Amino acid sequence: MNALLQASEASLYLPVRARIAEVRPLTRLEKLYRIELPDGMSLQHQPGQFVEVSVFGVGEAPISISSSPSRSNGTFELCVRRAGDVTSALHGLQPGDTIGLRGPLGHGFPVQRFHGKDLLFAPGGLGLAPLRSLIQQVLDDRRNFGKVTILYGARHPSELLFTEELQAWSALPDVEVHLTVDRPDETWKGNVGVITTLFSRTSLYARNTVAVTVGPPVMYRFVLMELLGKGIPEANIWLSLERRMKCGVGKCGHCQMNHLYACLDGPAFCYDQIRHLEEAL
Ligand SMILES: Cc1cc2nc3c(=O)[nH]c(=O)nc-3n(C[C@H](O)[C@H](O)[C@H](O)COP(=O)(O)OP(=O)(O)OC[C@H]3O[C@@H](n4cnc5c(N)ncnc54)[C@H](O)[C@@H]3O)c2cc1C
Ligand code: FES
């Protein structure tokens, strides 16, 4: 059992109080929060897992853990887009304020199964938030992985997340980063078009490549067609499926897709696990 669930062992639904240590604006809609758990507790998460964040008196929302376990150092990060009640209330909080947390919840990406593989990451928009955790983990354990390619797209240059980090990653040996936007502005010198237009910019040894994609549901069909067309085996394609969630622990059924619960069996899934499910993609 992980540290937070242990701390709230009276109930799966009881949040632990945590402190906001730092808030950093990333874009017009997204802020990055560094969160500190009580008594030096460690979150002990896997990349791809999420937490249920509560703002007291407002409500609770599932948010992916955006930093890797390898960089935990007693804190972890959440990248939060202002969308509705909970996330807007969270955007109003300051360092030193208290939130509630349940988790880490769900299944993340099985990082050890990726050892020895080339990795292709294809996040779209806010999808870079959960994938950043996995990318950091891989880059902190570099000798266990082959070439790393990151293809990242957003609607507008001002909506690209973690731009400084993307630049730093692109300068690392054996790491390729390609960016694209749908609607350029006058400063944009890069690729224009949806994320699939980036695939021609990189070469892959498909049979030894693991691909991980996280983004809006509309993106998956096209990215999957591209990955399968390149010959990447179905068992080497991973994605994160986000559904409306309430309990986050497999009890309420809100996130059910056929016989699977996105909160419990996922949100990280292998493509060959979900491709036949009518309600998955
Ligand atoms: C596993 C998981 C991980 C997530 N990780 C992040 C993250 O890292 N950062 C982040 O900012 N957000 C993340 N989200 C999305 C976030 O939980 C929702 O936006 C949440 O509803 C915000 O709560 P709210 O009260 O602010 O907005 P609400 O009032 O609940 O909703 C605001 C708007 O978003 C819509 N909406 C709510 N949930 C979803 C959903 N799952 N998919 C599509 N539309 C939805 C609502 O219909 C409404 O239009 C994640 C969701 C899941 C399921
Ligand atoms: S959110 Fe309740 S079962 Fe998944």
In one-letter notation, the amino acid at residue 69 is: P
Distance between CA atoms of residues 281 and 274, nearest Å? 8
Output the pTM of the full model.
0.94
Cα angle: 259, vertex 261, 262; to 5 degrees: 135
Q: What is the DSSP letter of 2?
A: -
Helical H segments across the chain, by residue range: 3-7, 85-91, 128-139, 163-170, 217-229, 271-274
Beta carbon of 62 within 6 Å of any ligand 1 atom: yes
Say if residues 166 and 139 touch (Cβ distance below 8 Å). Answer: no
Cβ–Cβ < 8 Å for 121, 133: no
Mutation pick for ligand 1 pocket among 67, 82, 242 (CB with most ligand atoms within 8 Å): 242
Whether residue 242 has its Cβ less than 6 Å from ligand 1: yes
CA of 170 to the centre of ligand 2 (A): 37
Q: Say what the pLDDT of residue 226 is.
A: 95
Per-residue pLDDT of the chain in tens (281 residues, 90 and over written 9): 566 666 665 578 889 999 999 999 999 999 999 999 988 888 999 999 999 999 999 999 999 999 999 888 789 999 999 999 999 999 999 999 999 999 999 999 999 999 999 999 999 999 999 999 999 999 999 999 999 999 999 999 999 999 999 999 999 999 999 999 999 999 999 999 999 999 999 999 999 999 999 999 889 999 999 999 999 999 999 999 988 899 999 999 999 998 999 999 999 999 999 988 877 78
Determine the residue type at 11.
S
User: What are the φ/ψ torsions at residue 46 (nearest 5 degrees)?
Assistant: -110, 145
> Alpha-carbon distance 32 to 162, whole Å?
10
